Amino acid sequence: MTATSGTAAEQEQTGAAPEGGEARPPVLEVRDLEVSFPGGRGNADVTAVRGVSYEVRRGEILGIVGESGSGKSVSSLAAIGLLPDYARVRGSIRLHGEELLGLDDRTMAGKRGRAISMVFQDPLSGLTPVYTVGDQVAEAVRVHNPKTSRAEAQKRAAELLTLVGIPDAERRRRAFPHEFSGGMRQRVMIAIAIANDPDVIICDEPTTALDVTIQAQILEVLKAAQRETGAAIVMITHDLGVVAGLVDRVQVMYAGRLVETGSVDDVYYRTRMPYTMGLLGSVPRLDRDGKTPLIPIKGNPPSLTDMPPGCPFAPRCPIATSECDAGEPPLEQVGGAGHSAACIRASEIEANAWTARDVYPVGEIAENPVAQLPREDRGTVLRVEDLAKHHPLMRGALFKRRVGTVYAVDGISFDIREGETLGLVGESGCGKSSTLMEILSLDAPQQGGVEVLGKHSGKVSTRERMDVRRDVQVVFQDPMSSLDPRMRVFEIIAEPLRTHGYSKERIRSRVLELMELVGLDTAAVTRAPAEFSGGQRQRIGIARALALEPKLLVLDEPVSALDVSIQAGVVNLLEELKARLGLSYLFVAHDLSVVRHIADRVAVMYLGKIVEIGDVQSIYRRPTHPYTKALLSAIPLPDPEKERRREHVVLQGDLPNPADPPSGCRFRTRCQKFAVLGEDERSACREREPELRNRVEGAADQAAACHYADTEAVL
Amino acid sequence: MSLSAEREAITTEAAAEISGRWSSLAKELLATRRVVIGLAIILGLIAAAWIGPMLSPWGFGERDFTAFRSPPSADHWFGTGNTGRDIFHMTMVGLQKSILIGLCAALFTTVIAALVGAFAGYYLGITDRALMWVTDLFLVLPQFLILAILYPVLRDSGWLIFVLLLGCLMWMVTAKMVRGMTISLKEREYVLAARYMGVSHGRIILRHILPNMSSLLIVDATINVSSAIILETALSYFGFGIQPPDVTLGSLIAEGSRQALAFPWTFWFCTGLLIVLVLAVNLIGDGLRDALDPHSKSRT
């Protein structure tokens, strides 16, 4: 099953959920759920969920979408009874008409796993490391059916593992969790969740921690699990793409309340709540060309301890009026049946048919004059030639001996010109970060060369090296750990300036200038980073990187830890800075839609090698390498229609061990093209490593490393 | 023109607020009640230790042959000892030495431990091996054997040498802990960021790594104050450091503890002062830890 059609699943669903769905009683029914946590030590109580109602019927998939802190996880934890004892829960949660709230933990434990089960976000910590995965699945079976014999439970475990797509389950059930990759572990978690044919499966961001190719696999598994058990699924996510093709109904949560609910098509195409519009508009689109700025939602979600009296979204809403502050708008029906929104201007939005672009005014992003010159006429900022980074694998405690080599980066070449952004993409473990670290260390590489602004790394004096440091700066992925928590913002931004010998007065004015440049309040320089939100912290990180007026900014997944609405603001800022300051970016990301939005050229990495490189239009419109195609195909689009029509290429298995890469073409073990080749054609893939060169007619700037590159469309 | 004027205004306005890291830390510390109380106690003890002997009508070596082991009275505020010496005077003189030794040795120990551990953990490789080899050596060598060897050389040197000696006996375990924490801290992105902006290794250790384990170091230093005072007693017993007739809190406690039940004043006053001293140091350490902790609730 390399390619699975979305339509099959769709038919299945329509069969399972007939139009007269109202006739059937809901499996899980939540009414006016309120959850609050008492604030300790004189702090105000935190009300995480404020009056949420929903219901799911058999065979239905409900999506709950919201940013971090919107209360989506807390509401589902309440449903399964896993909130801490001190949480105060009010309202009603009924499973098959039976009230769950107020049940004691023993009774609840009897239902958990049998009638209602959960798949958690982090597959790494979801399994006990000291038991085999087979034992853990078997335990889930036996705990609810004590009469099952050990052997029967083991047999059932193997069946379940096969069902969730673990090859050779009979043998692999004896493996320990650490022997499984993240995606495989998530499959085991799903196997545990469906072990007792539950009626409701709650999935809390099941794919957030995984790569896109693995995400596509897991979504397929979830669909299969749903077909198999006929359960209702509640899918909690922040990714509007994931839910678009998967769910029947969507609920959008904001500040602990539902702000818009309805069928997928209603919510995506006939959006009536400005927040949902913002969310949809802030997602970079893989299926759209052109450099239109994303729609950021300004500000931050309100603190759950002291909520403004009116609409909680009003402070961030561009069309808020004074009436919005008067009282919280109720969730009322708008337009079609089952579609409701909590906005007093919903009818106005409907009457005028406003879209996100009408509601959220966005500026144009100017282009830097340098970027208009042809590429060949611009200076080279960074040139990487045949760069390699191999880590020795050592064994033994006293006498260490080398037992192998990890080929983290294995001979890659690219260059970045002035005012250009190169996106470096690939799954985790493909060597993206190792490449960055090699470039940034400015040491002589093990093999090949790195040339920054004409200076070869490792061949310059200490003084010159310091000068190169000025020109190359870095922004890290995690804004939590990239700023020293003990320093205040002023010192953080001033540090590079101090290091490079700026005078005190100069530092002071420069820091304030930088704060303004990245859109932060200059008065905030005396605060500690812990007092800022994720997006603001990333802005501080950018300000620090820009302090020395670098020519090249290396961005290591700068937006992947941020919520989409915040991410859009940071992406826009990066684009604006690039135009204003004439920067060049090396943008590393696993999110191909962000890269399409920001990059001029793209390089796709797989197992330490670049498999395809070229300008962004060619790569996205006409990818030629099978891996690029698979990556593009795996990304869900936030567009239900298109998503249902698409055929996803689902790659098999995981990234091979980088210490023992396959012979010939490294991608052949997972390649969808290799799978359909004839035996004699395959021998080329096995024996000869394809070189990176132009493979298609008429493409000026596109090279792929595949013997059988073609331009067959995927999107 | 208006724009530049505006910028000027912003600059001067904010400039007033951007105070240095240390002055703002001091301000925050002085606003914490615990710290103020702790500081007041320590200052009080210091004052008592240096001014007290002057107020006492008795001299340091002077004996009152009319009162052996007499309880506290108007004549002898803290009573007298076995040989008729005034306990108040002795305790205050002992306090002088103990404050000096306790605070200096604790500070010295923690500084050594932090530097050795941080450098070993940061550089790893040969530096690490050398430093850890020295640490292990200090750990396994019998301390009193070294003292016996050093005794002839050091017996007539002043208390400063004695402080160094005390410090040398106490730093090893903390250094190992610091090394472990450094190894995990050096992989943090803010350390990488500092390295990629060209900050020197020494500065990274001092500005990023050590401040981020300040909680550990402060707790360690406060505990070390009391253990230095106790260890000093043990060493004095073997004939190092402070010798009779000179006294310290430690030697007074050692002597008084033998007769604590029969003549409680020979024991309780010096012990009480030691407890007060350690308590005050703990209060300051506690406040310092909170002030340095970016997540503490007291910040608003």
Please tell me if residue B194 touches chain A, with a CB cutoff of 8 Å.
Answer: yes
Which among B7, B190, B197 is the nearest to A483, CB-wise?
B190
Cβ-based contacts of B7 with chain A (< 8 Å): 513
In this predicted model, which residue has the larger pLDDT, A615 or A351?
A: A615
Q: Is the pLDDT of residue B241 over 70?
A: no
The pLDDT of residue A532 is: 85
Neighbouring CB atoms inside 10 A of A37's CB total 17
For range A660-671, the mean pLDDT: 88
Closest residue on chain B to A41 (Cα): B297
Q: For residue B207, list chain A residues with Cβ-Cβ distance below 8 A.
A: 484, 487, 495
Please give the residue of chain A at the shortest CA–CA distance from B8: A509
Poorest-pLDDT segment among A207-216, A258-267, A577-586: A207-216
B160-176 pLDDT tens trace: 888 888 888 889 999 99
| A167-188 average pLDDT score | 85
CA distance A308 to chain B (A): 20
Does the beta-carbon distance from B297 to A41 stay under 8 Å?
A: yes
Q: Are B14 and A525 inside 8 Å of each other by CB?
A: yes
| Confidence grade of residue A415 (pLDDT, cut at 50, 70, 90) | very high
How far does the CA of residue B187 sit from the closest CA of chain A (Å)? 10
At A136 the pLDDT is 92
Q: Cα(first)–Cα(last) distance of chain B, in Å? A: 37
* Pairing outcome for strands A249-254 and A200-204: unpaired
Q: Quick check: B294 and A466 CB within 8 A?
A: no
Contact list in B for residue A440 (CB cut-off 8 A) is: 196
Instruction: Work out the average pLDDT over B180-204.
Output: 90
Query: Residue A11: pLDDT above 70?
Result: no
Query: What per-residue confidence (pLDDT) applies to A235?
Result: 92
Cβ–Cβ below 8 Å for B199 and A466:
no
Which of A226, A217, A169, A236 shows the shortest CA–CA distance to A197? A226
B294 touches A at CB < 8 Å: yes
Please report the pLDDT score of residue B110 as a whole number. 93
Q: Does B15 touch chain A (CB under 8 A)?
A: yes
What number is the average pLDDT over the span A59-87?
Answer: 87
Q: Are B295 and B110 in contact (CB under 8 A)?
A: no
Q: What is the pLDDT of residues A36-57, one digit of tens each?
A: 888 766 667 888 898 899 989 9
Task: Collect all residues of chain B within an 8 Å Cβ-Cβ radius of residue A526.
Answer: 17-19, 24
What rounded mean pLDDT belongs to chain B? 81
Q: Name the residue with tokens 């260059």.
A: A415
pLDDT at A16 over 50: no
Q: What is the mean pLDDT of chain A?
A: 85
Query: For residue range A269-289, what is the model confidence (pLDDT) as tens digits?
Result: 888 888 998 888 888 888 776
Q: What is the pLDDT of residues A632-659, one digit of tens each?
A: 888 888 888 888 888 888 887 778 888 8
Question: Exposed, middle or buried by CB within 10 Å (0-12, 13-18, 19+), for B107?
Answer: middle
> Is A573 within 8 Å of A393 (Cβ atoms)?
no
Give the N- to C-terminal CA distance of chain A in Å, as an integer.
Answer: 19
Which residue of chain B comes nearest to A525, CA vs CA?
Answer: B18
Higher pLDDT, residue A584 or A654: A584
Confidence of residue B177 (pLDDT cuts 50, 70, 90): very high
Handedness of CA A325, A326, A327, A329 (dihedral sign): negative
Helix, strand, or coil here: A606?
Answer: strand
Bridge partners (DSSP) of residue A475 are A555
Q: So what's the pLDDT on residue A691?
A: 86
Q: Are A86 and A39 in contact (CB under 8 A)?
A: no
Q: How confident is the model at residue A356 (pLDDT cuts 50, 70, 90)?
A: confident
B197 vs A496: CB contact, 8 Å cut-off? Answer: yes
Q: Chain A: residue nearest B215 by CA?
A: A486
Note whether B196 contacts A523, CB cutoff 8 Å.
no
Closest CA in chain B for residue A436: B196
B113-132 tens-digit pLDDT: 999 999 999 998 899 999 99
Contacts of A469 in chain B (CB under 8 A): 196-198
Q: Which residues contact A703 (CB under 8 A, 6 or more apart)?
A: A612, A613, A614, A692, A693, A694, A695
Q: How far is B73 from chain A (nearest CA, A)?
A: 48
Chain B positions in Cβ-Cβ contact with residue A488 (cut-off 8 Å): 21, 24
The pLDDT-based confidence of A6 (bands split at 50, 70, 90) is: very low
User: Is B196 an 8 Å CB contact of chain A?
Assistant: yes
The closest CB to that of B197, out of A478, A490, A495, belongs to: A495
Residue B143 pLDDT greater than 50, yes or no: yes
Q: Provide the percentage of residues in chain A whose pLDDT is more than 90.
A: 20
More confident residue, A401 or A95: A95
pLDDT at residue number B295 = 62
What's the pLDDT score for residue A281?
85
**Are A582 and A370 a contacting pair, CB within 8 Å?**
yes
The alpha carbon of residue B8 is apart from the nearest alpha carbon of chain A, in Å, by: 9
Cβ-defined contact of A476 to B294 (cutoff 8 Å): no
A38 neighbors A45 (Cβ within 8 angstroms): yes
Q: What is the dihedral of CA A226, A227, A230, A232, to 10 degrees?
A: 30
Report the residue from B7, B198, B214 with minimal CB separation from A500.
B198
Residues 154-193 of B with CB under 8 A from A: 188-190, 192-193
pLDDT reported for residue B239: 67
Report the C-alpha gap between B139 and B154 in whole angstroms. Answer: 21
Q: Which of A439, A478, A484, A490 to mutate to test the interface with B (most CBs of B within 10 A)?
A: A484
Q: What is the mean pLDDT of residues A585-590?
A: 90
Out of B189, B200, B294, the one facing A478 most closely (by C-beta) is B189
Q: Decide if A474 and B18 are in contact by the 8 Å CB cutoff.
A: no
Range of weakest confidence among A565-569, B10-14, B189-193:
B10-14
Instruction: State pLDDT tens for residues B8-66.
Output: 444 444 444 455 667 777 887 888 888 899 999 999 999 988 888 888 777 777 777 77
Residues 247 through 266 of chain B touching chain A, CB cutoff 8 Å = none
Which pLDDT value is given to residue A18?
Answer: 42
pLDDT reading at A520 higher than 50: yes
Distance from CA of B193 to the nearest CA of A (A): 7
Kindly list the residues from chain A whose CB atom is less than 8 angstroms away from the CB atom of residue B294: 485-486, 528-530
- Percent of chain B exceeding pLDDT 90 equals 21
User: If you search the block for the tokens 């020519």, which residue do you land on?
Assistant: A551
Measured between CB atoms, which of B188, B196, B198 is closest to A481? B188
pLDDT for B9 equals 40
Tell whether B10 lies on the interface with A, counting CB pairs under 8 A: yes
Global pTM? 0.81
Distance from CA of A87 to the nearest CA of B (A): 22
Cα distance from A330 to chain B (closest Cα, Å)? Answer: 34
Which of the residues A433, A495, A497, A552 would you substitute to probe the B interface, choosing the one with the greatest number of B C-beta atoms within 10 Å? A495
For residues A371 and A584, what is the distance between their CA atoms, to the nearest angstrom? Answer: 10
For B199, the closest of A482, A495, A528 (CB atoms) is A495
Q: What is the pLDDT of residue A644?
A: 83
For chain A, percent of residues with pLDDT exceeding 70: 94
Shortest Cα distance from A490 to chain B (angstroms)?
Answer: 8
Query: A471: which residues sit within 8 A by CB, 6+ positions away?
Result: A452, A453, A548, A550, A551, A552
How many Cβ contacts (< 8 angstroms) between chains A and B?
A: 91
Q: Any CB–CB contact under 8 A between B130 and chain A? A: no
The verdict on B197 touching A (C-beta cutoff 8 Å) is: yes
Q: Which of B11, B21, B193 sits opposite A482 (nearest CB)?
A: B193
Tell me whether residue A86 is exposed, middle or buried, using C-beta atoms within 10 angstroms of its C-beta: 0 to 12, 13 to 18, 19 or more: exposed
By Cβ distance, the residue of B193, B198, B203 closest to A466 is B198
Q: Among A259, A302, A260, which residue's Cα sits nearest to residue A46? A: A302
Residue ranges of chain A whose CB lies within 8 Å of a chain B CB: 41, 440, 465-466, 469-470, 472-474, 476-478, 481-488, 490-491, 495-496, 499-500, 508-509, 512-513, 522-523, 525-526, 528-531, 541, 544, 548
